[in-house]
Structure 1
Amino acid sequence: MNALDKIKEITESLKGFGIEDAHKESEIILTHALKTDRTVLYRDNPAVTGKNIKDIGEILMRRAEREPLQYILGFVEFYGLKIKVGEGVLIPRPETELLAEEVIRLFTVHCSPFTVLDLCTGSGCLALAIAKHFTDADVYGTDISKDAIRYAKENAGLNGIRNAVFLKGSLFEPLKQIMFSGVQSFKFDVIVSNPPYIRSGDMPNLQPEINKWEPRNALDGGEDGLSYYRTILSEARGYLMISGVIFL
């Protein structure tokens, strides 16, 4: 079987599972299995071998359970970075990439080194995108999840980023502990976050990929979805430079 026929077959399988963007996913699955890119797929229409078919079948079995494709493949592309993801860490959202773009756009004209704090860092994607672009910036990320911090540290290593530090704890708590010990004080030019924002009552209505697989504590924003925003805004002043900026 050739690639273009296989795309049609995979697409029909995904539609049967209730996957909305079945055609796009079929392209991603096939390029992954063939270790090629979309251009080659359509230009050369390569043959799909027995090993490829086996790998695709295993992916489809997992997608039938509505496991996120990003977890199955093990990574996502984020602002030019390859970000490792898996069960226990939130999959980076498009709006987080827009947030990274806005911070980078605003601070591209910043002449001197600056400091950044990323709250609810998750996989570290936002902190790492900023750290990669501004190699002289000091970037910190915090998250309550030990799995998230593990992924964030691993992603820093995978992308060769050395100017990002990740600390386990809720929001500002890890910084408070360090400051209380007298080891270091913190003031940031930028505080950035894409915190949990889904209303608790809406959680059961989410897509299975989200509701069944992604960590609830990275999604549930309380009764009105704004719990984390209130906490961040009420405490941020103590950690911002006088001319500091918050991006939420």
Structure 2
Amino acid sequence: MAETSQGLSRREALRRSTALLGAGGIAEAAGDARFLMLGLLDLETRDLLLDGEKILGADEAKNLDAALARRLSGEPVARILGAWEFWGLPFRLAPETLVPRPDTEILVEAALTTVPDRGAPLRCLDLGTGSGCILVAILSELPHAYGIGLDRSLGALRMARHNAVANAVNGRAAFVAGDWCDAVRGGFDLVVSNPPYIADGLIQHLDRDVHAHDPRAALAGGPDGLAAYRRILEGVRTNALLAPGGTLLFEIGYDQAEPVRNLARAAGFADRGLTRDLAGHDRVLGFSLSPDLSSGHTDA
């Protein structure tokens, strides 16, 4: 096996990359090798199929070898590429943003199921927007909706704004710096959030790809993992962020359904149901204002 990818064809380089990652203990070696090849060389799958004998250029081989070394060190493919796909859309990443994960698409699906008319001019709020993937995905499906993405990180907000432009929803999206609900007032038809929900003491036990490369601020949910939910529930209620008939939806950890439900009930919210992910794990909870609160609710 060659020491570098220099002089190899695309097809040979893909085989070598897969073998190197597999030998290095990477579980998804074939998929990771393919993603790196396609992303780094700006190729489509058909390019590997139809033009697989084309020899890599010197810079292409150098970049691929550097990326393989980073992957073997434990850096995720998405971090190496600086971009990832979510909801079929491209998203660039920053050090301050999480890598969008398929499980979070369940939150988008659940949000859309609450919308009886996708042509309505709905108002959406994404708390802890990060890369903006949730808000951008929702707006891509609701052509007349308008949304605000809120985050404490200016780096994340800059990337979210870029992603809104790249996905052609920037005319209907605004991004605001703030600490959860403090920077906004009501009323929104959809309020969504994938907040930090990992108990602080468990972060070190997550997969290396996560705890070593995802921003801690986007993971750490306090001693019991529920700190952000408490803040959001209180802020949504106090600042009247839900319009009448509006829905609040959370992504949750697999064992957090009952604790989050209890917090929501205590804060005056009614349960709108649980959605599970493809693995059967609890993933999304929906809430509305309890009737006694919503009857006196007015937009700020």
Please, what TM-score do these two structures have when normalized by structure 2?
Answer: 0.74
Further displaced range: 60-69 or 214-223? 60-69
> Of 29, 38, 48, which aligns to 2:45?
38
Q: Does 1:135 align with 2:137?
A: no
Deviation string, structure 1 residues 190-238 (Cα, Å, up to 9, x no partner): 1101111111111111222221221100011122222212222233232
- Map 1:1-248 → 2, pairs under 5 A: 1-42=8-49, 44-51=51-58, 52-107=60-115, 109-110=117-118, 112-161=120-169, 162-175=171-184, 185-237=185-237, 238-248=240-250
Q: Structure 1 residue 36: deviation in Å?
A: 2.1
**Retained in 2: the 8 A contact 1:6–1:48?**
no
User: For the structure 1 residues 206 and 18, does the alpha-carbon distance in structure 2 shift closer, same or farther, using more than 3 Å as the test?
Assistant: farther
2:198 touches 2:222 (CA, 8 Å); kept in 1?
Answer: yes
Give, in whole Å, the separation in 2 of the partners of 1:33 and 1:124: 23
- C-alpha RMSD of matched pairs (Å): 1.9
Q: TM-score, normalised by structure 1?
A: 0.88
Aligned-partner Cα distance in 2 for 1:106–1:142: 21
What number of residue pairs does the alignment pair up?
A: 239
User: Amino acid of the residue matched to residue 222 of structure 2?
Assistant: G
Distance of 1:216 and 1:72 partners within structure 2:
18
Which residue identity lines up with residue 192 of structure 2 in the other structure? V
Whichever structure has more helix as a proportion of its residues is 1
What secondary structure, in the 3-state scheme, does the structure 1 residue paired with 2:155 have?
helix
Which moved further from structure 2: 147-156 or 55-64?
55-64
- The residue matched to 2:244 in structure 1 has which SS? strand
What SS class does the counterpart of residue 55 from structure 1 fall into? helix
Does the 8 Å contact 2:118/2:143 carry over to 1?
Answer: no
Say if 2:94 and 2:155, in contact at 8 Å, map to a contact too. no
Q: Which runs of 4+ in 1 moved over 6 A?
A: none
- 5+ residue gaps, structure 2, are 1-7, 251-300
Code of the aligned partner of 1:203: I
Q: Matched residues in 2 for 1:218 and 1:18: separation? A: 27
Query: C-alpha distance in 2, partners of 1:34/1:147?
Result: 27
Identity %: 34
Q: Secondary structure at the match of 2:75?
A: coil
Give, in whole Å, the separation in 2 of the partners of 1:63 and 1:10: 10
Which structure has the bigger radius of gyration? 2
Residue identity matched to 1:113: P
CA contact (8 A) 1:221 1:227 kept: yes
1:181 is matched with which residue?
Answer: none
- The whole-number CA distance in structure 2 between the counterparts of 1:144 and 1:137 is 24
Asked whether the equivalents of residues 40 and 81 of structure 2 are also in contact (C-alpha less than 8 Å), the reply is no
Distance 1:110 1:174 in 2: 27
* Unpaired stretches in structure 1, ≥5 consecutive residues: 176-184
Provide the rounded CA distance (Å) in 1 between the counterparts of 2:220 and 2:55.
42
Q: Is the contact between residue 82 and residue 93 of structure 2 (CA under 8 Å) also seen in structure 1?
A: yes
